[in-house]
Amino acid sequence: MCDNNKFKITLLQTDIAWNNREANALNAEQMIAENPGSDLYVLPEMWTTGFATAPKGIAENKGEGLDIMKQLAQKTNAAIAGSIATQVDENDFRNRFYFVEPDGKTTFYDKHHLFTYGGEHLEYSAGTERVVIDFRGVKFRLIVCYDLRFPVWCRNTDNYDCIICVASWPTPRIEAWSTLLKARAIENQCFLAGVNRVGTDPSCEYSGGTALIDPYGKTIVECERGKQQAISTILDLEQLYAFRQKFPVLNDKDGFCL
């Protein structure tokens, strides 16, 4: 599906029904069916439930949402990505970002920077591993929502082409979201796919701002604010590599250890 260093990606700005996996899965499946032919479909943070800071009774412990992602990946011959509130054991909850490939191969990243302002750190355990995935010739770095505010954690050590940031980023701070997407793309000389939700949950309102940013900081495509919508575009790796060769910013990065 991906050839000539061009990779098709679809970003799904969904209106998440609170704690209703079945409704959210049906919605995601329909949106994907209406936007066929991509190599990768990206869903928001905690796409099966909404952003649940109190995960007991909400978080998955049997892999129900992950199974749905595997089925969709196989059906579409595409990767499916998005985070799910996951119970690892009795007292260990993770905000787990899954990247599921068509053959069932699954890689996950556990959110590192838990959102202390909202109390996420009180119930969830933070991940410690940086995760980069090579899928159909594109190297993706996975991060979740609040991670976007921390440039050292996101820093490109010349080992990825595109950051994927899935989020439940509320409306009052939406301009920070849009600014940080561009900043992380520019400083890491990469594409950045930022996927945020719309709608409401018991605590917040969300207006989206889902976008694909190029290494120059330009918005390639962007969803309409406040509207459930899917957008697709091409990641042109030839353009990315040519820019890096012409203007090799990453060669001059600071030498701190991550």
| Residue in 60, 101, 145, 154 annotated catalytic | 145
154 carries an active-site annotation: no
Active-site residue identified among 60, 111, 120, 162: 111
Tell me whether residue 45 is one of the annotated catalytic residues. Answer: yes
92: which residues sit within 8 A by CB, 6+ positions away? 125
Told to judge if 34 belongs to the known catalytic residues of this protein, a careful annotator would answer no
- CB neighbours of 50 closer than 8 A, spacing ≥ 6? 16, 17, 18, 19, 168, 197, 201
Separation of alpha carbons 96 and 114, rounded Å: 12
Catalytic-role residue among 2, 45, 154, 162: 45
Tell me how far apart the alpha carbons of residues 197 and 115 are, in angstroms, rounded to a whole number: 17
Q: Residue 231 forms beta bridges with which residues?
A: 11
Amino acid at site 75? K
Question: Would you name the residues annotated as active-site residues?
Answer: 45, 111, 145
